[in-house]
């Protein structure tokens, strides 16, 4: 039997179009969204992620004061970003979204190995560790300058930084860039020891970095939130700012994952209804796009049961 390349609930398949019709039936969607949210929070809390407490702690902190200082007022937010994401009407541009990302990230890691009894920390270490292991096979150490694109609240950036400093004695200069200053405010707070050189509010398609600035750039769980044109533009920009011989490491949902392809209807409905660019993401040929830009594409591998890691280099 031929291998299925993507889930039937994405792209132009009949099931996918039916799912889109349900999602676009607003009263039904609002009801589904509210119920799904309750289930998600209750499940996370049952599995050891103190969702409501984490939220309250951030809400009661002085974090909101840092927003202005982190915000680049010259940014034009693209239309694809100014849409609801993850059931938040303001997408990534709100405190509500930003205050829930820490919990949502750990809950996501637990879902990857949901048949094992793992603590949120163990599941999360496994999730990042599986990506880092693939990176490790391809990287030449020491690594000096690193950028995490779409860093969100910095969990991916800090995990990457910790992995890199374990591999070498030389200093690593790690930065994170994100389009949401709300996410960056939480990232700055998560970076308790100020280990990250800079948290940058910017558009990944058009950064202020000089050509050939980085040895390693990662894109972790961002591509599924982008339309195809934005992905191409970001790859093009990364090609410019990576140094010759520099590495691009991508990790995200795996369209070929049997777990994702066989999600129960309630879950794929939820996933698709809260990720507006799913149809584009799951049908996009990342590897061919990288090659067409000039990257030396190396490998796509199933780094865990739900996710794939893709490695490419800027030729020397
Ligand atoms: C799912 S989160 C990334 C999660 C994080 N990297 C991790 O692995 O935990 C995607 C992030 O990308 C950001 N983003 C979306 N489009 C972007 C763009 N064009 N440039 C920079 N950041 C972007 C969003 O604000 C959001 O915080």
- Binned at pLDDT 50, 70 and 90, residue 127 comes out as very high
Output helix, strand, coil percentages for the chain, rounded to the nearest 5. 50, 15, 35
Give me Rg for the CA atoms of the chain. Answer: 19
How, if at all, do strands 307-313 and 296-302 pair? Answer: antiparallel
Residue 197 DSSP one-character state: S
Instruction: Answer whether 205 contacts ligand 1 (Cβ < 6 A).
Output: yes
CA of 91 to the centre of ligand 1 (A): 11
CB atoms inside a 10 Å sphere around CB 37: 15
Instruction: Record the pTM.
Output: 0.94
CA of 151 to the centre of ligand 1 (A): 6
pLDDT digits (tens, 9 = 90+) for 218-251: 999 999 999 999 999 999 999 999 999 999 999 9
CA of 222 to the centre of ligand 1 (A): 5
Element spanning 131, H or E: helix 120-138
How, if at all, do strands 198-201 and 242-253 pair? Answer: unpaired
Choose the weakest-confidence range: 18-22, 49-53, 90-94, 225-229. 18-22
Choose the weakest-confidence range: 98-102, 164-168, 279-283. 279-283
Determine the pLDDT at residue 85.
Answer: 67
Residue 219 alpha carbon, nearest atom of ligand 1: 6
Instruction: Answer whether 104 contacts ligand 1 (Cβ < 6 A).
Output: no
Among 178, 188, 230, which residue has the most ligand 1 atoms within 8 Å of its CB, making it the best to mutate?
A: 178
What is the token pair recorded at 307? 């996710």
Return d(Cα 266, Cα 22) in angstroms, integer: 12
Residue with tokens 């969100």: 152
* Mean pLDDT of all residues in 85-111: 88
Among 87, 109, 222, 277, which residue has the most ligand 1 atoms within 8 Å of its CB, making it the best to mutate?
A: 222
Instruction: Answer whether 253 contacts ligand 1 (Cβ < 6 A).
Output: no
Element spanning 23, H or E: helix 14-24
Residue 80 alpha carbon, nearest atom of ligand 1: 16
Among 225, 274, 307, which residue has the most ligand 1 atoms within 8 Å of its CB, making it the best to mutate?
A: 225
CA of 180 to the centre of ligand 1 (A): 8
Instruction: Answer whether 221 contacts ligand 1 (Cβ < 6 A).
Output: yes
CA of 200 to the centre of ligand 1 (A): 12
Determine the pLDDT at residue 87.
Answer: 67
Instruction: Answer whether 54 contacts ligand 1 (Cβ < 6 A).
Output: no
Instruction: Answer whether 207 contacts ligand 1 (Cβ < 6 A).
Output: no
Select 14-313's CATH number: 2.60.40.10, 2.130.10.10, 3.40.50.150, 3.40.50.880.
Answer: 3.40.50.150
Task: Tell me which residue has its CA closest to atom 10 in ligand 1.
Answer: 222
All structural domains of the chain with their residue ranges = 14-313
Determine the pLDDT at residue 20.
Answer: 73
Q: Residue 21: is it exposed, middle or buried by C-beta count within 10 angstroms (0-12/13-18/19+)?
A: exposed
Mean pLDDT across the chain, nearest whole number? 92
CA of 148 to the centre of ligand 1 (A): 9
Question: Regarding predicted confidence, which is higher, 297 or 40?
Answer: 297
CA-to-CA dists, residue 75 to 71, 78, 251, 289, 306, angstroms? 9, 9, 26, 26, 34
Return d(Cα 48, Cα 172) in angstroms, integer: 33
Determine the pLDDT at residue 1.
Answer: 65
CA of 137 to the centre of ligand 1 (A): 25
Residue with tokens 């030729």: 315
What φ, ψ does residue 257 adopt, rounded to 5°? -65, 130
Determine the pLDDT at residue 267.
Answer: 73
């Amino acid at each position: 039997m031929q291998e299925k390349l993507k889930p039937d609930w994405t792209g132009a398949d009949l099931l996918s179009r039916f799912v889109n019709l349900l999602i676009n039936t607003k009263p039904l969607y609002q009801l589904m969204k509210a119920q799904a949210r309750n289930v998600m929070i209750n499940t996370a809390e049952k599995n050891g992620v103190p969702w409501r407490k984490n939220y309250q702690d951030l809400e009661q902190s002085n974090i909101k004061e840092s927003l202005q200082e982190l915000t680049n007022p010259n940014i034009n937010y693209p239309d694809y970003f100014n849409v609801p994401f993850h059931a938040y009407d303001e997408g990534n541009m709100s405190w509500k979204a930003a205050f829930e990302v820490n919990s949502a990230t750990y809950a996501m890691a637990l879902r990857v190995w949901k048949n094992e009894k793992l603590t949120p920390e163990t599941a999360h270490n496994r999730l990042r560790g599986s990506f880092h292991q693939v990176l490790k096979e391809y990287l030449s150490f020491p690594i000096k300058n690193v950028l995490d694109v779409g860093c969100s609240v910095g969990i991916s950036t800090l995990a990457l930084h910790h992995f890199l400093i374990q591999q070498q004695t030389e200093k690593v200069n790690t930065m994170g860039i994100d389009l949401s200053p709300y996410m960056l405010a939480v990232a700055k707070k998560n970076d308790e020891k100020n280990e990250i050189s800079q948290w940058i509010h910017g558009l990944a398609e058009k950064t202020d970095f000089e050509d050939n600035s980085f040895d390693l750039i990662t894109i972790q769980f961002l591509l599924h939130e982008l339309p195809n044109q934005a992905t191409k533009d970001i790859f093009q920009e990364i090609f410019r700012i990576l140094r010759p011989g520099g590495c691009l490491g991508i990790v995200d949902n795996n369209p070929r994952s049997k777990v994702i392809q066989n999600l129960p209807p309630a879950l794929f409905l939820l996933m698709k209804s809260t990720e507006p660019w799913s149809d584009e993401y799951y049908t996009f040929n990342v590897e061919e796009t990288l090659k067409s830009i000039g990257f030396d594409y190396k490998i796509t591998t199933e780094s865990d049961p739900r996710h794939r890691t893709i490695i490419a280099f800027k030729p020397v």
